Amino acid sequence: EAGVVQSPRYKIIEKKQPVAFWCNPISGHNTLYWYRQNLGQGPELLIRYENEEAVDDSQLPKDRFSAERLKGVDSTLKIQPAELGDSAVYLCASSLGRLAGYNEQYFGPGTRLTVT
């Protein structure tokens, strides 16, 4: 069974440029998460989807961050414009979803973003 797929793995951009990250969750997983992991810290939730609905986006900086999960499968996280402080690893995770009880999350390898 394929795991959570993320691309790109690494991205270097200049500040004020846009950037997008893509995530393909495990087949059949209804819940998808985007996390940001700063150096030396644990992951922090940015947004959680149940199917195509964003059910928790309270930590998403909406002035510059946006996300979508069309058709309830793949998801894209975008930053526009990027700032120096956005340098971090962006992790995508998926789980079976709330109708299956609370299941563990499966993480992708992450995208390491460097903003110069």
Partner 1 sequence: AQSVTQPDIHITVSEGASLELRCNYSYGATPYLFWYVQSPGQGLQLLLKYFSGDTLVQGIKGFEAEFKRSQSSFNLRKPSVHWSDAAEYFCAVGGGAGKSTFGDGTTLTVKP
The residues binding partner 1 (CB under 8 A) are: 4, 31, 40-45, 48, 50, 55-56, 91, 93, 95, 97-98, 102, 104-110
- Residue 56 or 83: the one with the smaller Cβ distance to partner 1 is 56
Taking the complex as a whole, how short is the minimal distance between the CB of residue 50 and partner 1, in angstroms? 8
Question: 100-108 contacts: CB < 8 A, separation 24 or more?
Answer: 100/30, 105/33, 106/3, 106/4, 106/26, 106/29, 107/4, 108/3, 108/4, 108/5, 108/6, 108/23
Taking the complex as a whole, how short is the minimal distance between the CB of residue 108 and partner 1, in angstroms? 5
- Residue 42 or 63: the one with the smaller Cβ distance to partner 1 is 42
